Structure 1
Amino acid sequence: MRNRIDRVFPFHANTVGMKCAYGILLLVVFLLACGCTGTPPEMPASVQTMPDIAATVSPAVPATGAVLAELSDVRPNATLALQPGTVLVSFRAEDAQKMTFGFTNGGDYAEMSEIEVTGPYAGTLAFGPPDAGGYQLNITGSGRWTATAALPDAAAHLAVPVNLSGSGTAVSPVFALEAGEYIFARNETGLSSPLYELRFANGSYLMDANNTCVQPCLGMDSAHSFTFIEIPESGEYFLSVLPRSSPHPWNVTISAVPVILPLGPGPVILQTPLVQPDT
């Protein structure tokens, strides 16, 4: 019998040792059943994820029309055959970097914009080729990026009063303005304000009456919170927003100048004839 026990339990042939082992086993089972083995394990800490680029997209107009070209940091150049009008370049930067956008016909027309991006960001720029022909679009950046050149969606338009807001480099939807005077108001002033440029829907700049500056003609160091703009002809326009860096919040309102009715002749004063006393 002993040999049989040795074969079945080679490490516990001693009866006293078996009782001790069973006692310890019962104690462990009892403690587990009572929940007295200590505090429950902590939940693992949440894993930090990289911010989604889409969360920083400015509420601007992306290039939703016919796609003309797709560019990236590995394919930064494109040649486009264009008619006069507006071309929107929507870009997406993967990280903080400086980006330069050059748009030219190789002759007497050229536009260039330099943008500083402080983090993952997506925005839009506008260019206005004045003539039919070939144009070159070149984009450079110090990090990873992608871009799309496309025609604007002509169906998108706003009406006065126009309330616009965004966060960085952007192009507003098209809005209709009647010929006349308007108030251009902004929340940010001085160095905190972006550069604002009003354009006709065909991409050409809306200059002031003296052809000296692009309306609203607010310098980037101007302390004025509003100014008056003159619309020479009824039509469709859009606003281009160029801050010093992106993302950067901005808010703009374009409203008609209130019409002040001319003053009337005033109340009629009736003069009562002087009655002479009887003599």
Structure 2
Amino acid sequence: MRFLIGIAILLVIGVLACGCTSQSPATTTPATVTPAPANLPATLSDSHPNTTLSLDPCVIVVSVRTEDADKMELDFANLSGGYVAATVFYTTGPFAGSVAFQAPQKDTYQLNVSGSGRWTADIAPLVTTNPLKTPVNLSGSGTQVTPVFYLERGEYFFERNETGLASPYYFLGFGNGTPLMDANNTYIQPDFGALSPHPFTFITIPESGIYFLNVLGRNNPGSWAVTIEPVPKIPYLGPGPARLPAGVTLTRNVTP
């Protein structure tokens, strides 16, 4: 149910952003990060647009480069059936970006990439070594998968430099590709909304571990930057000073 709700949200948001991202339910443990598959990296192009991959549970990153304005569609599915994921985004000129896909179980998968112009795509596992530490400062251009970072369990500020329609959509995920839902499993964190003017929001990290950020750009290319940092803990101030009985005052001896 957790995945199904997240997928519906991603699909709606992706369409609003002149693209789409959807994926079927999968059962994985958020804290699990698996080794890189042996049959990667691989390369695709407009003359060789698809490949078959034998994968253990993992996250793959497809890095796409276009020469001109383009419509890019990426489809990822297991051959045994039951799992499909897709992303569509549009570029306004030469562009280099990336998209992440989760392989939720050991299986054989088919990746198909199509574009309206000339393009190439490199496929590699998500690198989970040497994660960034807080405060996490990330920046890029358009649709992109960020480097991984380590977050302790707790509350965080998620601050962005672009707001409203100038901002891409941001989707946090565990290191194994599972979307990071809010406490009610209604949306993938953070959630600004399409027209939100707010420069920051709060996110809740339910367990310490490796995370990464999927960025779905409305504009490709289009610069963006975000910072993730812990919410400061308010120190315990104690009960405060005791009240003196009526008519009683404190005196201080001063030596001349």
- For Structure 1 versus Structure 2, the TM-score category normalised by the shorter chain is 0.7 to 0.9
Match of 1:241 among 191, 215, 234: 215
Is 1:72 matched with 2:45? yes
Q: Does the aligned pair in 2 maintain the 1:65–1:153 contact within 8 Å?
A: no
Q: Does the aligned pair in 1 maintain the 2:37–2:56 contact within 8 Å?
A: no
Q: Which residue of 1 aligns with 2:189?
A: 215
Is 1:268 matched with 2:238? no
Counterparts of 1:110 and 1:217, CA distance in 2: 24
Counterparts of 1:79 and 1:65, CA distance in 2: 13
Unaligned runs of 5+ in 1: 1-63, 275-279
Q: Does the aligned pair in 1 maintain the 2:165–2:194 contact within 8 Å?
A: yes
Q: Which residue of 2 aligns with 1:100?
A: 73
Q: Which residue of 1 aligns with 2:200?
A: 226
Match of 2:95 among 115, 118, 121: 121
Amino acid at match of 1:201: G
Matches within 5 A, 1:251-262: 251-262=225-236
Counterparts of 1:140 and 1:245, CA distance in 2: 19
**Does 215-224 or 115-124 show the bigger shift?**
215-224
Deviation digits for residues 252-278 of structure 1, max 9, x if unmatched? 11110111113322223443777xxxx
Q: Which residue of 2 aligns with 1:87?
A: 60
Residue 183 of structure 1: CA displacement? 1.1
Q: RMSD of the alignment, in Å?
A: 1.8
- More strand as a share of residues: 2
Deviation digits for residues 172-193 of structure 1, max 9, x if unmatched? 1111011111111111111111
Counterparts of 1:236 and 1:260, CA distance in 2: 26
Return the TM-score normalized by structure 2.
0.78
SS in 2 for 1:191: helix
Q: Does the aligned pair in 2 maintain the 1:65–1:152 contact within 8 Å?
A: no
Counterparts of 1:105 and 1:65, CA distance in 2: 15
Counterparts of 2:119 and 2:214, CA distance in 1: 21
**Does 208-217 or 133-142 show the bigger shift?**
208-217
Match of 2:176 among 202, 212, 235: 202
| Distance of aligned partners of 1:65 and 1:169 in 2 relative to their CA distance in 1, 3 Å threshold | farther
Residue 166 of structure 1: CA displacement? 1.1
Unaligned runs of 5+ in 2: 1-35, 249-256
Amino acid at match of 1:111: A
Q: Which runs of 4+ in 1 moved over 3 A?
A: 268-274
Counterparts of 1:254 and 1:82, CA distance in 2: 31
Residue 160 of structure 1: CA displacement? 0.7
Q: Which residue of 2 aligns with 1:164?
A: 138
Q: Does the aligned pair in 2 maintain the 1:183–1:254 contact within 8 Å?
A: yes
- Kindly, what percent of the aligned residue pairs are identical? 55
Counterparts of 1:156 and 1:74, CA distance in 2: 35
- More helix as a share of residues: 1
Matches within 5 A, 1:49-60: none
Q: Which residue of 1 aligns with 2:15?
A: none
Match of 2:120 among 146, 158, 179: 146
Amino acid at match of 2:108: G
Residue 198 of structure 1: CA displacement? 0.4
Which one scores higher on RCO, CA 8 angstroms, separation ≥ 6? 2
Q: Which protein is bigger by CA-based radius of gyration?
A: 1
Residue 218 of structure 1: CA displacement? 2.3
Return the TM-score normalized by structure 1.
0.71
